[in-house]
């Protein structure tokens, strides 16, 4: 089966394992392409893609733009300033703009969960969710799994702990869905105030002690403290967070095996991880960024191939 089962990428929960395998196989090909002298393929030269970012982004926005340009697509990007988007209203205006520009695909990041879903029901274009509030960030979930597959050979049977602000993290949720679909075991670790109450109903155990969590795991995915989403004080101080849930070189070296350290970025150096951990051999943070372009090329290519002439 060489086609995606969906016409949009709204979340990991809507795709299946075959889709993930197909995306990864295609990403392998694109990883080779982006290491050639001329990093372009002409496949999407008749496709127009709009990137609409209602929330700030460096990595994701650049990564998507690069992926689209390497596929020779026409790209238009606009970031709405960090204004409060009233529920639905301004989005409908945006929808009307898109319809009149006749774009084939929309990549959107929005602060409201379900925004991408809403768009897919109201616009005649293929939608890629680049993050909707604290809900899902499917391409991040995919590239994280892809990186684990690259480093450890496969994802099935591996033990992954996600550390930090799980409550507000779309990266955490997408990762949980993707990893479980591929047969990995997932645990979370963080301050009790930042772990969702019903996380166990997803089949994810909570390990409150960081050292124990790292000793159990093969991979640790460190999440950033999402200050912009913290409406109340979830922990006494950043220093206390760093002491209890931050990883430093001493802690990493004291474990009896070498684990892989991941971080979706941007890193708060000294809070979630220290500089010597971020720059160490065990960290795959920059590989995640490189893989992000290849995975996004694969997703866009596969979605585009379903848009018939």
Partner 1 sequence: MSHKILLTSREVNIILHRLACQLIEKHLDFSDTVLIGLQPRGRFLAERIKQLLEQEYNVTGIELGFLDITFFRDDFRRSDKPLEANRTEIDFLVENKKVVFIDDVLYTGRSIRAALTAIQSFGRPSEIELLVLIDRRFSRHLPIQPDYRGRQVDAINDEKVKVSWKEHDGEDSVYLI
Task: Tell me: does residue 228 bind partner 1 (CB under 8 A).
Answer: no
What number of residues does the chain have? 309
Closest separation in Å from C-beta 306 to partner 1: 8
Residue 43, interface with partner 1 (CB under 8 A)? Answer: yes
One of 12, 15, 26, 95 touching partner 1 (CB under 8 A): 26
C-beta of 33 vs 255, nearer to partner 1: 33
Interface of this chain with partner 1, residues 236 to 265, rule: CB under 8 A: none
Question: Is 40 one of the binding residues for partner 1 (CB under 8 A)?
Answer: yes
Tokens in use for 154?
């496969």
Q: Where do runs of H (alpha helix) occur along the chain?
A: 17-33, 59-70, 89-101, 115-122, 138-152, 170-181, 210-216, 238-245, 249-254, 275-278, 285-304
Q: What's the min distance (Å) between Cβ of 106 and partner 1? A: 18
CA–CA distance, 130 with 158 (Å, rounded to integer): 26
When asked if residue 25 is in the footprint of partner 1 (CB under 8 A), the reply is yes
By beta-carbon proximity to partner 1, the closer residue of 43 and 90 is: 43
Q: Tokens for 15?
A: 């795709």
| Cα–Cα distances in angstroms (integers) from residue 214 to residues 148, 163, 211, 235, in the given order | 16, 10, 5, 21
Angle between the N-to-C axes of helices 285-304 and 17-33, in degrees from 0 to 180, rounded to the nearest 10? 110
Which parts of 52-111 interact with partner 1 (CB under 8 A)? none
| Binding of residue 271 to partner 1 (CB under 8 A) | no
Query: Residues interacting with partner 1, by CB under 8 A?
Result: 1-3, 25-26, 29, 32-33, 36-44, 46, 301, 304-305, 307-309
């Amino acid at each position: 089966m060489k086609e995606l089962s969906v016409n949009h990428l709204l979340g990991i929960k809507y795709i299946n394992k075959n889709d993930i395998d197909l995306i990864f196989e295609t990403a392998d090909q694109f990883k080779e392409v982006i290491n050639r002298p001329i990093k372009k393929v002409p496949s999407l030269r008749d496709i127009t893609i709009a990137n609409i970012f209602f929330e700030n982004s460096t990595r994701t926005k650049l990564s998507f733009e690069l992926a689209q340009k390497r596929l020779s697509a026409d790209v238009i990007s606009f970031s709405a300033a960090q204004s409060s988007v009233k529920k639905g209203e301004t989005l409908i205006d945006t929808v009307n703009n898109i319809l009149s520009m006749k774009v084939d695909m929309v990549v959107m990041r929005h602060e409201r969960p379900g925004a991408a879903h809403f768009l897919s029901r109201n616009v005649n274009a293929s939608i890629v969710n680049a993050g909707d509030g604290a809900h899902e960030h499917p391409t991040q979930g995919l590239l994280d799994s892809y990186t684990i597959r690259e480093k450890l050979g496969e994802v099935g049977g591996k033990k992954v702990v996600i550390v930090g602000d799980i409550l507000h993290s779309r990266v955490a949720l997408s990762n949980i869905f993707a990893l479980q679909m591929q047969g990995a075991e997932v645990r979370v670790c963080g301050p009790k105030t930042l772990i969702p109450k019903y996380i166990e109903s997803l089949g994810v155990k909570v390990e409150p002690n960081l050292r124990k969590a790292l000793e159990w795991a093969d991979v640790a995915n460190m999440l950033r403290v999402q200050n912009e989403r913290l409406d109340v004080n979830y922990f006494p101080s950043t220093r206390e967070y760093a002491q209890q849930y931050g990883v430093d070189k001493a802690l990493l070296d004291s474990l009896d095996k070498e684990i892989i350290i991941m971080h979706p970025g941007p890193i708060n150096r000294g809070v979630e991880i220290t500089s010597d951990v971020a720059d160490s051999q065990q960290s795959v943070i920059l590989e995640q960024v490189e893989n992000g372009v290849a995975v996004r090329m694969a997703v866009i290519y596969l979605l585009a191939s379903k848009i018939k002439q």
